[in-house]
Amino acid sequence: MAIGDLILKLGMLLVFFGVMIFVGFYCRKHSTDVNGFVLGGRNVGPWLTAFAYGTSYFSAVIFVGYAGQFGWKFGIAATWVGIGNALIGSLMAWVILGRRTRIMTQHLSSATMPDFFEKRFSAPSLKVAASIIIFIFMIPYTASLYNGLSRLFRMAFNIDYAVCVIVMAVLTAIYVIVGGYMATAVNDFIQGIIMLVGIVAVIAAVLGSKGGFMASLEGLSAAKDSGIANGTVPGVFNSFFGPDPLSLLGVVLLTSLGTWGLPQMVGKFYAIKNEGSIHKGTIISTFFAIVVAGGCYFLGGFGRLFAAELGAAEGGNPAGGFDNVIPTMLQTLSPFLIAIVIILVLSASMSTLSSLVLTSSSTVTLDLLKGHVVRNMDEKKQLLIMRVLIVVFIVISAALAIVQANSSVAFIAQAMGVSWGAMAGAFLAPFLYGLYWKRTTKNGCWAAMLFSSIFMIIDMLANLKVLNINLGFLQSPINAGAFCMIAGLIIVPLISLISKGPGTDRVNEIFSCYDRKVTVTAKESIETEE
C-alpha cells in the first residue's frame, strides 16, 4: 500500500473521529438531567430526529451483511427490501406511530418502552418483562454491528479486527457518555450525510467498473445458481421479483415492519419537538431510507457480477461467506472512495451502536434497577448508573464481536440473527394496539411477548441443532421473525377480547391526551374560518 494512500485514509478517519468527539463535548450541556440525557429534553427538531431514526435503522449489518446476502440470493429484486424499508419501515412508521407516540408518552411521563407498558396497562410486571427481553436480545444485536468492519478494515489498512472494534467502541462510548441523546442525534445527522453521499458515489463507481448500469444488468442476466429455487432460470437475477419471491417478502416484512417494535427506533418519536417536526421528519426519513437502504440493496443485487473474484463454495454460495460480497465489490475503488466507504460503514455502525447502548442503559437503569434493586435513586445517581452501564454494554458487545471473529462460536452469530425478530415480535403488537385500542389488555401483551420470545429461542436452538425440530419455512430466523410479528397482531386482540378488560376510567384518562384542545397556526392545521 502506497504511503500517500495510507495517509489519505488515516487523515480522513482522524477528522471523522475528531468531529464525533467534539460534538459529544459540545452537547454535554443537554445531558445534565435524565430527561435531557435520555430524550434530549423532548425538544429535538425534524432533521436531527429523522436522521437519528435512519442511521439507527441502517447499520453495517445492512451495508455489508444483508446487502451482500440478499443481493446474492435475490439479485436486483433485493432492491424491494430497501423500498419496503422506506415505505413501511419509515413512511408508515412515522405516519402511524410518530404523533401518537409523542403525545401519549409525554402524557404518561414515559421515557422508555417498558415504562410505557407499565403506565399504559397499569402492569409493573410488563415493565420488568419487557426490560428483561431488551436486556437479553439487545446485547447480541449490538455485537452484530461490528460485523463487516473486519474485512473492510483489513482491505483498507491491513490491521487486526480487534483494533477496529476497540477504537469504534471507545469513541462511541465517549460521545454518548458525555453528550447523551443530543450528542447521538447531532452525530447521527453528520453520519447520515456521509451515508447519503457515500452510497451514491460507491454505486456509481462499482457499476462503472463493470461498464455502467445497462452493461451490469446484461451481465447479471447470465448469472445462474443451481443451489437455490429457480436459480437456473436465465435472467432470474435481474427479474422483477427474483428467484424466490416468498422468501423476499419475508425479508421485506422483518426488516421493514420490525422497526415498529424496536425500542431504539420507537424511542426517537418520544423526543421529537412538535407536530410540524413530525410532518417534516416523515418526509426526510423516507427520503433517507430510499437512498441509503434502496442503494445498499441495489448495490448488493449486482454481487454475482463478481463471482469470479469471490470464488464458489459448497451450495453455490460465495467463498468466504456472504459478508465477503460487498468488500470484494469495493476492492478496485480509488483510495479516496475506499476511505469514504470505511467512514460510511463506521458511521452506520457507530450511529446504531450509540442508539442501542443508550436504549439499553436507560431501560436497565429506569425500568429494572430503579425502584426494584435500588429503592432510593435520585437523578444524579440515575445519570451515573446509566453512564456506567453504557460502558458495560459496549465492553460486552465488543468482547462478543472479538470472540466470534476469533473462534467458531456459532451461538453468538445465531443469537444476532434472532435478536431483531424476537424484540420486534414481542413489542410491535402490544405497542401499536396500546396507542390505538382502548380494549387492549395486559394479558394480550403478555401473550405476544412470551410467544415471540419463546418461539425465536426455539428457532435459534433448532438452527444450532440443540433441538431436533424441523420448522420448515420458519427455520430461517428472518421468516420466523416476520411470523412472530404477524402472530402478535392476531394474538393481542384475541387474548384481549377473551380476558378481563382494563378499567374504563383509567383508560379514558390515558386516551384523553388525544382530545386535548390546542391552538395552532393555519399552516399546521386547516380549519374553516368563522
Best CA proximity match to 340, nearest among 29, 55, 8: 8
For residue 529, tell me if it sits in a domain: no
> Which of 310, 305, 10, 347 has its CA nearest to residue 156?
10
User: Buried b vs exposed e over 22-48: b needs ≥16 C-beta within 10 Å?
Assistant: ebbeebbebbeebbbbbbbbbebbbbb
The whole-angstrom separation of Cα 478 and Cα 507 is 36
The dihedral formed by the CA atoms of 450, 412, 471 and 492, expressed in degrees to the nearest 10: 20
Full DSSP string of 117-138: HHHHHT-HHHHHHHHHHHHHHH
Whether the Cβ atoms of residue 232 and residue 224 lie closer than 8 Å to each other:
yes
The structural domain count of the chain equals: 1
Tell me, yes or no, whether 521 lies in a domain.
Answer: no
The Cβ of residue 521 has, within 10 Å, a number of other Cβ atoms equal to 7
Q: How far apart are CA 210 and CA 212, in angstroms?
A: 6
Q: Does 34 fall in a domain?
A: no
Reduced 3-state DSSP string for 457-480? HHHHHHHCCCCCCCCHHHHCHHHH
Q: Is the dihedral of CA 174, 180, 183, 185 positive or negative?
A: positive
3-class secondary structure, 355: helix
Q: Contact, 255 vs 84, CB < 8 A?
A: yes
- 188 and 56 Cβ atoms separated by less than 8 Å: yes
Determine how many CB atoms are found less than 10 A away from the CB of residue 159: 11
Total number of residues shown for the chain: 530
- Grid coordinates given for 351: 450511529
Cβ atoms within 10 Å, residue 193: 14
Question: What CATH number does the domain containing 90 carry?
Answer: 1.20.1730.10
Residue 32 lies in a domain: no
Please report the DSSP string for 465-528 in residue order: TSS----GGGGSHHHHHHHHHHHHHHHHHHHHHHSPPPPHHHHHHHHGGGG------TTT----
In terms of residue numbers, what domain contains 274? 3-27+44-515
273 C-beta neighbours (distance < 10 Å), count: 18
- Dihedral sign of CA atoms 137, 143, 147, 152 in order: positive
Cα angle 296, 297, 300 (rounded to 5 degrees) comes to 90
Query: Is residue 94 domain-resident?
Result: yes
Flag whether 527 is in a domain: no
Classify 356 as helix, strand or coil.
helix
Tell whether 133 is covered by a domain.
yes
Domain assignment present for 404: yes
pLDDT (tens, 9 = 90+) of the chain, 530 residues, equals: 567 777 887 888 888 889 989 998 988 888 888 888 888 877 788 898 899 898 888 877 787 778 888 888 898 999 999 999 999 999 999 999 999 999 999 899 888 899 999 999 999 999 999 999 988 888 877 877 776 566 667 666 667 778 888 888 898 899 899 988 888 888 889 988 988 988 998 899 888 888 888 888 888 887 776 556 565 666 788 888 888 888 888 888 878 988 899 888 888 888 888 777 888 999 999 999 999 999 999 999 998 888 878 776 666 678 777 777 888 888 778 878 888 888 888 888 888 888 888 888 888 888 888 876 777 778 888 889 999 999 998 898 888 888 777 765 555 555 666 888 899 999 999 999 999 999 999 999 999 999 999 999 898 888 878 888 888 888 888 888 889 999 999 999 999 999 988 888 989 999 998 887 766 665 655 554 44
Is the four-CA dihedral 412, 417, 418, 422 of positive or negative sign?
A: positive
Q: State residue 530's pLDDT score.
A: 43
